[in-house]
Structure 1
Amino acid sequence: MADHGYDISDFRAIDPLFGTMNDFDKLIREANGLDIKIIMDFVPNHSSDEHEWFEKSVKRIDPYTDYYVWHDGKIVNGTRQPPNNWTSEMAHSSAWEWHSERKQYYYHQFTVKQPDLNYRNPKVVQEMKDILIFWMKKGVAGFRVDAISPLFEDEQLRDEPVTNKPDCPVPSDKCYKYPIYTRNLPETFDMVVQWRDVLKEYAAKTDNVSKVMMVESYESPPLVMKYYGNSTHDGACFPFNFQFIPNVTIDSNAHEYKALIDKWMDNLPEGRVANWVLGNHDRHRVGTRLGPERIDSLNMLIMTLPGVGVTYQGEEIGMEDGFVSWEDTQDPNALNAGEELYLNYTRDPERTPFHWDGTKNAGFSTANKTWLPVSEKYKETNVKLQSNGSIESHLEVYRQLIQLRVESSLKFGELETLVLNDNVLIVVRILKENKTIVSILNLGKNLENIKLNDIKSFPSKAILQINSVGANYKTGYVVTRDSVLPLKPYEGYVFLEFNN
């Protein structure tokens, strides 16, 4: 695999490294028996250069000749060059690769091993729709659509305008150009609508159980909202809301968090479902980026905001990045950057194995060596340790949050957000004839004394439902609107209206 499995050589098969199709079928059956839904990663932008389609396209065997984006290039001063200035972020060079057999360049937004599919070819569009149907027949409950933004490219292959930013002089860097011809073209939004139609039509013809579709896009809220579809056509169930990932740091204050929440909600189309993401496999873990002491408060935040709370594995136990040396590095993004710069580009630290327990390889594998090394902190941060009912743990806080989400106020309630000072963020969920829920989160390093009557929607009496690890007050503690609540640094509480 050239990119951790994102270079697909057969869209209808399981890589032997991960098992067999029989293993997959068993996974679906056993998951269904536990009422767990399996979602498939759908990677539509490109295939592997080892895919049969690409091999036949190289040889100009129809109907595959134009399954990919090919071009003769241009001659400048007697030298053949790529057709334009488009670059690949992962290759850190031109996005065009000369193929000596076909005698043309092919376009690759990612590595040279991942040629982009040509979605202006109707046969490619139908192929990918058929692949969605194939996996739904296998029993998957929906799809997480990878890297949706670069699906289409400008038909005229025009050069992208240069930003001329003084702090971005390297042509291959993301900030060097405005990607107006390679990302988020109108046709991309339409294709998402077409895929959603495939999912809805399949459900209507079979079990009438809706299938989910989530799409990956790092764009700003006004642009990413287009992936929801419009008033007449459904797009994705939701595009991932990654705003907390690039826009907050360990030094961010409560005002900054509130601004990001408000911006998403203000842009959210009517009738669409919000979602909240703290981390993923492409960015350093929450515990590393924002501090392990904030784990509980941040989980409280995304689990009490409206809509879907998305958890990247490890966040429920407070995992941090693991160190991965150059010798152990697997990420092509880092390998292509070279040993001196790999730490600036690697995504391996957030992808180290999950910590199940304190045994060899953190209980993740019985192999002598795992693909990526296990984090050195696995003995102090693992599921088994945090499942011990005699101690408080991040995992127990997370479980309590999941259980609380059955409350109608969290499912359907109105949202109020409030900042009491630079450090304290308040989330209030209100639903008529239901109990009000209030999250009080100290995101800062100072002790804060909170007058609950400063929170206008705070109920006359409330009972503490969930407290962060090590908090002064525990579940069952009752407060009134006139109470003063001391908050230790990074402490978080979730209160439920109490009527005795």
Structure 2
Amino acid sequence: MFRRKFLTTALATAVALSISSLYGSAYAANLQPTQPKEDWARDSVIYQIYPRSFADSDGDGIGDLPGIVSRLSYLDKLGVDALWLSPFYKSPQADAGYDVADYRLVDPMFGSNEDFERLLKESHARGMKVIVDLVPNHTSDEHAWFQAALKAKPGSPERARYIFRDGRGENGELPPNNWPSVFGQSAWDRVPGEKQWYLHLFDSKQPDLNWENPVVRAEFEQVLRFWLDRGVDGFRIDVAHGLIKEPKMADLVIEEGRENAGALVGPMWDQEGVHEIYRSWRKILDEYPGQRIMVAEAWVSPRERLAQYIRSDEMDQAFNFDYLMTQWDATAFKNVIDSSIALTTTVKAPTTWVTSNHDVVRAPSRYGYSLKDQGKYALPGNGIGPNTPQPDEALGLRRARALAMLTLALPGSTYIYQGEELGLPEHTTMEDKYRQDPMFLRTKGEEIGRDGCRVPLPWKADAPSFGFGPSNKTWLPQPASYAGYAVDRQEKQSDSTLNLYRNLLKLRHEHRLGDGKLHWVEADKDVLAFDNGDIRVVINLGEQTAALPSGSQVLLSSEALPEAGKLPASTAVWLKR
């Protein structure tokens, strides 16, 4: 999408006044700068903010909403179309905010509801949409509903909001079935002194809701309206494939050596009943002015089932995890690009392109391994620790820069995870004593977890906490190497990764690549080339130098080209056709 402020002040005011009569002046103020109803999400560049690690305003070592507001000009200059905020709700933070205790209240560690409304208003004033995370599969165990359920009797309405079952065995001493938690160990915890157990597909402090209960459905419809009334532009739906469980809740058939196989497939995932829920939500979003979107975090198999989540009466987008997990190989990338476009075309939905997020090893570290080792050491969620063979940092960065040029030239919507525009690597040598991910804790370190990709960002190379906040505190330690990736240093370097991203996004918007079409061009082995509008993209995923088309006009390259007409290994270019 060509994100420019094409509304004049007078027109924006007129729009706001008309909305004010329907929804109130405060609501209109938040909506004033946004555009009338349009399909903005089809080709947008969406920037993921992990609030606790983006910018800290008060020096407590944890990022917050005022910190985000202070950096909105940076995001505007980067050229993104929308922001996606990971959870900022009231939470005991057992899983970094994905354990929600109050869906309508900003956690004091992040600020206040007023701080959020200011963030929303100032983002909209810059032409940026705002998407918030919704976590409907489970609540925190400190949520008022779950506390009431623990105090109530088996069979009570309070317990019916969650999934409680009697245990097996003579005295209920065994869990109701063998379902594993995604984070390791059993997915069931026993209520003290009872035969009943409650289901938690993630941490024990994240009890699963019972989505067969109309009370649960009604509550979340009101939560949607609460944030829509404040002007949010959409929701990223956490664990979108997990809300409905197979009614019989039979044991999972687990193959030997795949004890945690239920983390992705099984009777707890991708049940047909989830689609009824999302159709009802679609109707709610469509009641509001402008386009309000839903984005599915859905891990499904076979992958063709993903199309069901993005039919016209359900969600607008689904994360393309197949693309994210693709290894550094030309054939693999071509296949996943072709299959992704073909899949979304069947339901006339946009394709999304994702290379990093808060749950996976950062791309520069993931691609710093050989093809063999990449598939062994850099799997999503597994993390990289000090005892893991370390990636080649320089190689990984080179490949990540080339991959950015490939990704941002593809038609559809693209996601950028905070720090990706800096080429930020994983913190691969973090000591165990600092780790907080429940995946690490519940597996006793067998799974390194996701802390390494969540480390606070570096803004100033020579400042305490690298400018993350006014003190030297950070909730996770930053490696010394982050100084070299700091924003202030990169802004002064014309060939920095930050300036590469700024130039890529500028050209992407100017040439409307997100709204374009891909046409493959014949290329050498290990090289991909395609046209999108008047841009030709060439990326060399091999280890040998490749030839560029004769007479090529290079608009941008991921690395310096030492020899005219030649494309070095792990390098990409955009050419003017």
What's the TM-score, normalizing by structure 2? 0.74
C-alpha deviation, 1:4, in angstroms: 0.5
Q: Is the 8 A contact 1:258 1:417 kept in 2?
A: no
Q: Is the 8 A contact 1:67 1:124 kept in 2?
A: yes
Offset from partner CA, 1:282-320 (integer Å, 9 cap, x none):
111001001111122111111111101111111111100
1:64 aligns with 2:158: yes
1:440 is matched with 538
1:96 aligns with 2:199: no
1:347 aligns with 2:484: no
Distance in 2, Cα, partners of 1:337 & 1:48: 20
Counterpart of 1:199 (choices 285, 288, 291) is: 285
Distance in 1, Cα, partners of 2:364 & 2:232: 31
Output aligned runs, 1:466-477, within 5 Å: 466-472=556-562
Distance in 2, Cα, partners of 1:427 & 1:331: 40
Q: Is the 8 A contact 2:536 2:574 kept in 1?
A: yes
2:295 is matched with 214
Counterpart of 2:477 (choices 369, 373, 380) is: 373
C-alpha deviation, 1:194, in angstroms: 1.9
Counterpart of 1:400 (choices 478, 492, 503) is: 503
C-alpha deviation, 1:419, in angstroms: 6.0
The 1:79–1:227 alpha-carbon spacing in structure 2 relative to 1, beyond 3 Å, is: closer
Counterpart of 2:524 (choices 421, 434, 446) is: 421
1:266 is matched with 342
1:283 is matched with 360
Distance in 2, Cα, partners of 1:374 & 1:320: 11
Give the 3-state SS of the residue equivalent to 1:151 in structure 2: coil
Distance in 2, Cα, partners of 1:42 & 1:68: 18
Output aligned runs, 1:478-493, within 5 Å: 485-493=565-573
C-alpha deviation, 1:383, in angstroms: 1.5
C-alpha deviation, 1:442, in angstroms: 1.2
Q: Is the 8 A contact 2:456 2:476 kept in 1?
A: yes
Give the 3-state SS of the residue equivalent to 1:324 in structure 2: coil
Counterpart of 2:177 (choices 66, 70, 84) is: 84
Give the 3-state SS of the residue equivalent to 1:258 in structure 2: helix
Moved segments of 4+, more than 6 Å: none
The 1:39–1:409 alpha-carbon spacing in structure 2 relative to 1, beyond 3 Å, is: closer
Output aligned runs, 1:109-258, within 5 Å: 109-162=201-254, 164-165=255-256, 168=257, 171=259, 173-174=260-261, 179-201=265-287, 203=288, 208-220=289-301, 221-229=303-311, 233-248=312-327, 252-258=328-334
Q: Residue type of the partner of 1:60? A: A
Counterpart of 1:295 (choices 400, 403, 414) is: 400
Distance in 2, Cα, partners of 1:300 & 1:468: 7
Q: Residue type of the partner of 2:475? A: W
Higher relative contact order (CA 8 A, sep 6+): 2
Give the 3-state SS of the residue equivalent to 1:75 in structure 2: coil
What's the TM-score, normalizing by structure 1? 0.85
Return 40-49 or 29-38, whichever deviates more: 29-38
Give the 3-state SS of the residue equivalent to 2:173 in structure 1: strand
C-alpha deviation, 1:174, in angstroms: 2.4
Distance in 2, Cα, partners of 1:243 & 1:158: 29
Return 62-71 or 48-57, whichever deviates more: 62-71
Distance in 2, Cα, partners of 1:123 & 1:331: 31
C-alpha deviation, 1:214, in angstroms: 0.8
Q: Residue type of the partner of 1:10? A: D
Counterpart of 1:14 (choices 93, 103, 106) is: 106
Give the 3-state SS of the residue equivalent to 2:286 in structure 1: helix
Q: Residue type of the partner of 1:174? A: A
Q: Is the 8 A contact 1:146 1:216 kept in 2?
A: yes
Distance in 1, Cα, partners of 2:157 & 2:215: 8
2:372 is matched with none
Q: Is the 8 A contact 1:425 1:442 kept in 2?
A: yes
Return 305-314 or 375-384, whichever deviates more: 375-384
Distance in 2, Cα, partners of 1:139 & 1:415: 34
C-alpha deviation, 1:399, in angstroms: 1.0
C-alpha deviation, 1:412, in angstroms: 3.4
Distance in 1, Cα, partners of 2:423 & 2:307: 30
Distance in 1, Cα, partners of 2:358 & 2:264: 25
C-alpha deviation, 1:31, in angstroms: 1.7
C-alpha deviation, 1:407, in angstroms: 4.0
C-alpha deviation, 1:469, in angstroms: 3.2
C-alpha deviation, 1:193, in angstroms: 2.2
Distance in 2, Cα, partners of 1:462 & 1:412: 24
Offset from partner CA, 1:173-220 (integer Å, 9 cap, x none):
226x8833100000112222222221112x1xxxx2111211112335
Distance in 2, Cα, partners of 1:493 & 1:368: 40
Q: Residue type of the partner of 1:328? A: Y
RMSD value, Cα: 2.1
Q: Residue type of the partner of 2:230? A: K
Give the 3-state SS of the residue equivalent to 2:574 in structure 1: strand
Q: Residue type of the partner of 2:308? A: K
Distance in 2, Cα, partners of 1:192 & 1:79: 36
The 1:26–1:253 alpha-carbon spacing in structure 2 relative to 1, beyond 3 Å, is: same
Output aligned runs, 1:304-343, within 5 Å: 304-322=409-427, 323-339=429-445, 341=446
C-alpha deviation, 1:63, in angstroms: 4.5
The 1:485–1:21 alpha-carbon spacing in structure 2 relative to 1, beyond 3 Å, is: same
Q: Is the 8 A contact 1:444 1:490 kept in 2?
A: yes
Q: Is the 8 A contact 2:293 2:316 kept in 1?
A: yes
C-alpha deviation, 1:26, in angstroms: 1.8
C-alpha deviation, 1:246, in angstroms: 2.6
Distance in 2, Cα, partners of 1:470 & 1:489: 12
Which has more helix, going by share of residues? 2
Q: Percent identity at matched positions?
A: 32
State the number of aligned residues. Answer: 451
The 1:278–1:419 alpha-carbon spacing in structure 2 relative to 1, beyond 3 Å, is: farther
Give the 3-state SS of the residue equivalent to 1:225 in structure 2: helix
Give the 3-state SS of the residue equivalent to 1:386 in structure 2: helix
2:382 is matched with none
Structure 2 runs not aligned, ≥5 long:
1-92, 368-395
